[in-house]
Amino acid sequence: MTGMTSGGRATAGTDASSRAGLLWLLRACGALSVVGLFAVLALAAWRLLGGPSQSAWPTGTRAALVVLASGSVGFLTNWLAIRMLFRPRVRRSWLVAWPQGLVPREQARFARALGQVAAERLMHPDAVAVALEDPDLQAAIGRVVRRELDGLLDDAQVRAVLVAAVTEGIEQHGPAFVQRLRPDLRQAAARALDQYLTSERVLGWIDGALRAFVHHHAVRRAVAEWVFRESARDGTVTRIMALLEEHFRRYRERHPVRGFFAEQFVLDWDALRDSLVETLRSESAAENLADVLIETAEGLAERLRAPEASEAVGRVRLAAIERGLDWCEERGLALLAEGLAEIGRKPETWEAVEGALHEVLRRLPEALFDGESGSLKQAFRQNLSDLQRDLLGLLPVAAIVEREVLAMDPATIERLVDEVGRRELAWIQILGFVAGLAMGLGLLALL
């Protein structure tokens, strides 16, 4: 970095020194041209007033005067030509030969031509594509975009606006969007299920799980014990006892005498409750339930091999798709909007968003440009051409440039041209002086 800075300073110093030397040379040529012009005018006035003939002058003086006059003509002619490009800025009718400068007089035509050039050449897709192929420009654009994105995403108001726009868009337009795309979504879900979750595969999974359950005694026993353990909880037992008492009450209403004696001499509700709990927790009950589960699993496995089972799974899949789409339309989108709003309030969300955007920007050149040639891929070049055509249709570049150039003051245009082409304009005048000197020396040699 130090070397680059030193090199840059050295280059800047060299440019400044070169400009100063060129300015000094231009002023020297101008001064000599003015001296030569005044010398010729003075000589002409002297001759008109009856002064001595130039043949009486020394030969060297006459030669110097001829050469200096020739250089003055070359310099002043070029200086006048450059001045006539911009002066007079306002039309002067009394200047018959040159009433107005070229640029002020033809400013409207120049503006129209510049507008056409800007629209047709500067905005041309090929020119933009070639510019984008420059790695330095790609890196600069990436840095600017990342900096602007970071600045936007760090702004709390921008975050709030983004979250509100996304959530409101989902809530307002999401249901209509799902309804419009429902046939396509249904077909896509059906294709995905046909590919990854066929009826045969689902039935195979269930059949395999049932067979594993049947042949695994520890699993059967664990399931039976879990069922009885859950059934033996106080809440479950209480509900069972309440159900039994309700049935006995109805029995007693139909048979009051037998019901009375049964309650007095046969039924002991506390003992019945304890016996129920003991039965539910007994080893024999778990074994019996395990045997029942085996029979049930074998029966289910047998039924799964029937042809109608596959059809039933297919109907269930279609029903599940419809229910899923209904849920998405009625509640899912609202829940998604609420979730996004909640996520949008967390700082780590935006850190992740910034990281994802930076990664996208880093990989973007790989997707846009060919790895071997480095040129823009043909598909993106065509997209760029379409975008350029649309932009020119929406944004009248030619008219804008023409209007801005017409609005510029001629003095401003002259100043811009002077700033851009100062070196070239100076050399035009200097070379005119040198050409004039050479012409004067040639004339002396011939005469």
Answer yes or no: is 385 within a domain: no
Residue 70 or 62, more confident = 70
Q: Do both 404 and 324 map to the same domain? A: no
Name the nearest CA neighbour of 289 among 217, 233, 221, 213.
221
Q: Do both 408 and 321 map to the same domain? A: no
Q: What's the rounded Cα separation, in Å, for the pair 410 and 84?
A: 13
Q: What is the mean pLDDT of the chain?
A: 76
Where does the pLDDT of residue 79 fall: very low under 50, low under 70, confident under 90, or very high at 90 and above?
very high
Of the spans 141-155, 210-224, 226-240, 305-319, which averages the highest pLDDT?
A: 141-155
Answer yes or no: is 11 within a domain: no
Where does the pLDDT of residue 145 fall: very low under 50, low under 70, confident under 90, or very high at 90 and above?
confident
**Which domain-ending residue is among 328, 348, 379?**
328
Query: Phi-psi category of 282—alpha, beta or left, where left has phi over 0 and alpha has psi -120 to 50?
Result: beta
Q: Rounded mean pLDDT of 205-224?
A: 60
Q: Do both 106 and 206 map to the same domain? A: no
Of the spans 74-83, 288-297, 369-378, which averages the highest pLDDT?
A: 74-83
User: pLDDT value at position 69?
Assistant: 87
Q: Do both 301 and 404 map to the same domain? A: no
Answer yes or no: is 153 within a domain: no
**Which domain-ending residue is among 299, 328, 357?**
328
Name the nearest CA neighbour of 430 among 84, 41, 86, 24.
24
Answer yes or no: is 391 within a domain: no
Which structural domain, as residue segments, surrounds residue 229? 196-328
Question: Can you say whether the dihedral through the CA atoms of 312, 316, 317, 318 is positive or negative?
Answer: positive
Where does the pLDDT of residue 4 fall: very low under 50, low under 70, confident under 90, or very high at 90 and above?
very low
Answer yes or no: is 387 within a domain: no
Name the nearest CA neighbour of 416 among 108, 120, 107, 31.
107
| pLDDT greater than 80 at residue 407 | yes
Q: Do both 204 and 303 map to the same domain? A: yes
Q: Do both 98 and 204 map to the same domain? A: no
Q: Rounded mean pLDDT of 242-258?
A: 78
Name the nearest CA neighbour of 312 among 205, 203, 195, 187.
203
Which amino acid is residue 125, in one-letter code?
Answer: P
Contacts of 170 (CB under 8 A, 6+ apart): 333, 336, 337, 340
- pTM of the entire predicted model: 0.46
Cβ contact 363:216 at 8 Å = no
Share of the chain above pLDDT 70, in %: 71
Answer yes or no: is 252 within a domain: yes
Q: Rounded mean pLDDT of 6-28?
A: 73
Q: Is 376 helix (H, G, I), strand (E, B) or coil?
A: strand
**Which domain-ending residue is among 310, 328, 346?**
328
Answer yes or no: is 186 within a domain: no
Answer yes or no: is 435 within a domain: yes
If one counts the domains in the chain, the total is: 2
CA dihedral 69, 70, 74, 80 (to 10 degrees): 30
| pLDDT greater than 60 at residue 233 | no
User: pLDDT value at position 149?
Assistant: 82
Give the count of alpha carbons within 13 A of 349, CB side only: 13
Q: Do both 205 and 111 map to the same domain? A: no
